């Protein structure tokens, strides 16, 4: 072997490992090689403590150049040592890689892991599984995703619980893609990635087992509102009814009850979350209340609640009456930490895409306004004010969430002004200014 040629040494290490693996692996298994050289120091530190070593996390790259994390156990060291011309040696260990038998070769500054683990491929149908596997090994972690053509770097999980209208629990993750912050939301058999740009909110969705990759971009304004969409009749009793239970809520935690109006039709709570809520909630937990847990509970198809009439002056007053009765029936605390937002397709009141009580409990927001409308109305419930909003200039002009009247020429800053951030933080910590059943609106 030529010590001046790292490639030859790499091939020699791999060939030696494969020869040993062929003795220990089952006849039907196909070997895969992982280059874990970047984790060499971590490996040495673990082995120095003695053998066997239980599973520990390391970074590695497979033969396709896909970087990932895996769990490596080191059971024993073989007596066979292969010398190299430069005086160093190849030392071989036996262990397990992600619970699959593995041969580990250490030499000439390299660490190779050969295993009978099936070689992973980056295809859309296994994106959810690859995400879960990467998360299970610890964070931060890297997840290769197709068709993103780049690695999703998952930094950590946001605290709190998300309960979708179908009863599935979701988990949000703080991540980056192409170096820019994104939000990953994992629930059921689905993964959504929400990204932000001056042109709007982008959503890429993966469903386990499906080769289809869902793409959607929410522009600054979703378009005209169909006045005929409002539903005035109670929905069929055969429809599923979602309601809260004591088990699904943490009474002392900040909780947003997002109620989907029946006129949203086939628009799911997962879709509403990925497009209108995830980026806002991530900003709240990254920049305003870092480290705090926040719960989001979605509900739909509740007769007498999510089928209420609206689109007239006084809609918000009537919605508050509905929620007062609903909260009492469901034993939901009426404190400053519980907010109720009705998400609708039309305009809550003439010429208004949203309306909420300042520092109050209740609001209404349309998904046919700007995609920041939900964030705007939730901001009111948390004490943010129009007067403190800003227009900022970077590469282009953008408006913070509370700015009004909004201009389509400007993009969204995807956050609140510093003054509004301070007001929201103060309100969440103290509840100062909250009056039960207060019905004062800054938008009057």
pLDDT greater at residue 37 or residue 23? 37
Which CATH number is 261's domain given?
3.40.390.10
User: Does the pLDDT value for residue 230 go beyond 60?
Assistant: no
Tokens representing residue 436 in the block:
């039960």
Same domain, 172 and 79: no
**CA gap 159, 141 in Å, rounded:** 18
Domain boundary among the residues 81, 115, 149 is at 115
Residue the block writes with tokens 């003439």: 350
Same domain, 109 and 128: no
pLDDT band at 136 (very low <50, low <70, confident <90, very high): confident
**CA gap 39, 385 in Å, rounded:** 50
Same domain, 159 and 275: yes
Q: Which of 215, 197, 198, 196 is nearest to 271 (CA)?
A: 215
Phi, psi (rounded to 5 degrees) for 21: -65, -35
Domain of residue 201 covers 123-444
Domain boundary among the residues 99, 115, 131 is at 115
Strand partners, 152: 143
Same domain, 260 and 388: yes
418: Cβ contacts below 8 Å, ≥ 6 apart:
none
430: Cβ contacts below 8 Å, ≥ 6 apart:
none
- Provide the pLDDT for residue 249: 54
Write out the E strands in 27-97.
Answer: 32-35, 53-62, 67-83, 89-97
At 78-122, the pLDDT tens digits run 987 777 766 778 999 999 988 889 999 998 889 999 987 665 556
The mean pLDDT value for 264-271 works out to: 92
Residue 107 lies in a domain: yes
First to last CA, the chain: 81
- Provide the pLDDT for residue 3: 42
What is the side-by-side strand order in the sheet with 397-399? 391-393, 397-399, 411-412
- Provide the pLDDT for residue 235: 31
Q: Which of 401, 319, 413, 303 is nearest to 362 (CA)?
A: 319
């Amino acid at each position: 072997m030529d010590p001046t040629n790292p490639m030859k040494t790499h091939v020699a290490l791999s060939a030696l490992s494969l020869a040993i693996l062929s003795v220990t692996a089952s006849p039907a298994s196909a070997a895969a090689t992982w280059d874990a050289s970047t984790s060499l120091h971590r490996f040495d530190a673990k082995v120095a403590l003695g053998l066997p070593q239980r599973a520990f996390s390391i970074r590695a790259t497979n033969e396709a150049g896909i970087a990932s994390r895996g769990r490596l156990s080191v059971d024993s060291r073989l007596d066979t040592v292969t010398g190299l011309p430069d005086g160093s040696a190849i030392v071989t260990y036996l262990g397990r890689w992600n619970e699959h038998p593995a041969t580990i070769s250490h030499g000439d500054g390299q660490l190779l892991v050969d295993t009978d683990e099936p070689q992973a491929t980056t295809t859309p149908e296994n994106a959810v599984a690859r995400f879960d596997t990467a998360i299970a090994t610890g964070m931060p972690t890297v997840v290769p995703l197709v068709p993103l053509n780049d690695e999703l770097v998952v930094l950590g999980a946001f605290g709190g619980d998300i309960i979708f209208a179908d009863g599935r629990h979701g988990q949000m993750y703080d991540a980056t893609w192409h170096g820019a912050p994104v939000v990953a939301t994992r629930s059921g058999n689905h993964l959504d990635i929400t990204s932000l740009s001056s042109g709007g909110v982008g959503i890429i969705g993966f469903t386990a087992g499906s080769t289809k990759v869902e793409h959607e971009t929410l522009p600054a304004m979703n378009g005209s509102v169909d006045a005929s969409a409002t539903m005035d009749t109670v929905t069929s009793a055969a429809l599923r009814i979602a309601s809260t239970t004591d088990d699904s809520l943490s009474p002392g935690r900040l909780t947003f009850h997002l109620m989907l109006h029946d006129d949203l039709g086939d628009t799911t709570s997962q879709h509403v979350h990925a497009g209108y809520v995830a980026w806002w909630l991530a900003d709240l937990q990254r920049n305003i209340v870092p480290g705090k847990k926040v719960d989001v509970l979605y509900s739909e198809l509740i007769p007498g609640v999510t089928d209420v009439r609206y689109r007239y002056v006084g809609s918000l007053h009537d919605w508050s009456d509905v929620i007062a009765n609903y909260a009492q029936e469901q034993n939901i605390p009426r404190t400053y930490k519980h907010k109720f937002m009705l998400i609708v397709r039309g305009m809550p009141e003439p010429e208004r895409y949203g309306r909420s009580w300042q520092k109050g409990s209740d609001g209404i927001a349309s998904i046919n306004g700007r995609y920041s409308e939900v964030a705007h109305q939730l901001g009111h419930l948390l004490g943010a004010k129009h007067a403190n909003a800003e227009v900022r200039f970077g590469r282009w002009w953008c408006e913070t969430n509370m700015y009004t009247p909004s201009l389509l020429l400007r993009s969204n800053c995807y956050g609140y002004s510093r003054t509004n951030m301070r007001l929201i933080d103060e309100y969440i910590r103290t509840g100062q200014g909250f009056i039960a059943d207060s019905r004062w609106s800054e938008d009057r």
